[in-house]
Structures are given as structure tokens and as C-alpha cells.
Amino acid sequence: MGDERLVETFVELADTLVDDFDVIDFLHLLVDRCVALLDVDAAGLLLVDEHGRLQPVATSNEQVRLLELFQLQNDEGPCLDAYRTATSISHADLRSAGGRWPRFAAAATDAGFATVDALPMRLRTEVIGALNLFRTQVGELTDTARRTAQALVDVATIGLLQERSIRHQEILTEQLQSALNTRVVVEQAKGLVAERLGLDMDGAFAALRGYARSHNQKLSDVARAVIAGRTTTRELLTGAARLGRRPLKSRFGPISE
């Protein structure tokens, strides 16, 4: 984890904190940078909705999204504990976590993960979600990695809350609920793109996000345009090309523009 890359990440996160920033893309940036900078293999982030229930909002891959949903459906797991206790939760070997999270530990190990760390998204007494960090190798995070992860989570929490949201609870609720509603739209668009282009869900999301970034649009706006038919699934491929990414591969073979 180079100091220069870490500084660049904080600058990148701070640069997105404008009055009308794209919450979903901001949180996906957070989980992507956690995987890139820390000694972790995957990450997932959950936010609390207006009814006080946690919802998955951003994950580094589809496998983690399903695992986060499994946590919520079974009402057990490190993210729930971190949110409820407002403290960090760690387990260095999930094979021995059956007594604590019997269903989650089994599902996580079946998915190939060996360790987990969960950090609450907290500012003072306000807790708005939690971040899960997964690794495939047994062992604890280094102190440096843990401090860096907490700093990234703190930046994201401050960005979501902001001073006006702290002063006015209704603004906070509206902002977080908007992010959760947008997540539903993005998931619908992912499914549509995956079906039409023969991609997996990760590939479909990469196509949506690549198009949004290359055309300087919000991810949520692109998702709505795809659902409404204003943007075709083939047009999404120009996003990957402009960002210099490898051609997307579907079950029908490589996709070209």
C-alpha cells in the first residue's frame, strides 16, 4: 500500500463530495479502493434505510452482494454486529466462527472466504451502516490496514452525513433512502444488460459504470436510461472502450462495438 496511492484515493473521494454527488458511484469507489489498497480480496457496504433496516448498497463483486443479502435474510453476521454495537468486528478464521454466526460462517467459507472484518459507518453517536472486508487467507489485518480502512470509512460517513444532514434528520433520511432507491434501479439495469449482452452481473455493472464515467453522467441516470430504452445496451460498450478496458466477454464470446 503506497503512500502516493493512498493520498490519491483520499483526494479522489474528497473530489466527489460536491453538493449533488452520485452517492452510489461514490460508495462503489470506496469498496473498490478498499480492495485495491488493503490486503483484502472483496468488500461490501450496507446502509440503513428509513425503517432502520440495513440494505446492501455497494459491493466489489456479485459474490459479496449475495453474501451480504444472506447476512440480512438470516439476521446474523459481522456487518449486523458492527452496526448494532457501533464497534469494529473481526474474525481471523471463519472456520471457527460457527458458534457466533453458524449460517453466515458456513456461507462465507463456501464462497471461499477465510476471514472477515466489519467496520461501522459512524460519526459521533450516529451509525448509518457498516463495511465488510473479506479475505481468502486466514489471519488478521495489519494495524496499518485497519487504520486505513477506518479512515476511508470515516471519509465516506462524513460525506454522506454532511453538516446539513447532521442538523436536519429528514435530509439525512431522504439522502440515504434515495441511495437505496437508486440501488434498486441499478440492479434492474444490471439484470437487463446481463440478459441482453450475455454477461454476468459483474460484467453488466462494469458496462453501466464505464458508460457513465466516459460520458460524464451519473450511474443512476444511465441505469434509468437503459431501463427506459433511451440508451441501448450496445451503446454501453463505448464506455469500456473509452476507458481503455479489455473487451467485455459474454457467454456468446467477446463483445465488440
Report the distance separating Cα 59 and Cα 110, nearest Å: 18
Element (H, E) at 1: none
Element (H, E) at 188: helix 169-197
Q: Please identify which residue in the block is written with the cell numbers 444488460.
A: 193
Write out pLDDT tens, residues 163-222.
445 455 566 677 778 788 888 999 999 999 999 888 999 999 999 999 998 888 989 999
* Planar angle of CA 166, 170, 174, nearest 5 degrees: 105
Strand ranges across the sheet with 115-123: 54-59, 42-48, 126-135, 115-123, 89-91
pLDDT at 163: 45
Q: Are the C-beta atoms of 27 and 57 separated by less than 8 Å?
A: yes
Report the distance separating Cα 179 and Cα 176, nearest Å: 5
Write out pLDDT tens, residues 115-126.
999 999 998 888
Q: Please identify which residue in the block is written with the cell numbers 459479496.
A: 64
Within a 10 A sphere around the Cβ of 130, how many other Cβ atoms? 31
- Global pTM reads 0.70
Binned average pLDDT, 10 residues per bin, the chain of 257 residues: 65 61 81 89 92 91 94 95 96 94 96 96 91 95 89 84 56 74 90 91 91 90 93 76 48 46
Report the distance separating Cα 26 and Cα 39, nearest Å: 21
Within a 10 A sphere around the Cβ of 115, how many other Cβ atoms? 23
C-alpha cell at position 125: 453517536
pLDDT at 160: 80
Domains of the chain, earliest start first: 3-164 (3.30.450.40), 182-254 (1.10.10)
Within a 10 A sphere around the Cβ of 252, how many other Cβ atoms? 9
pLDDT at 18: 57
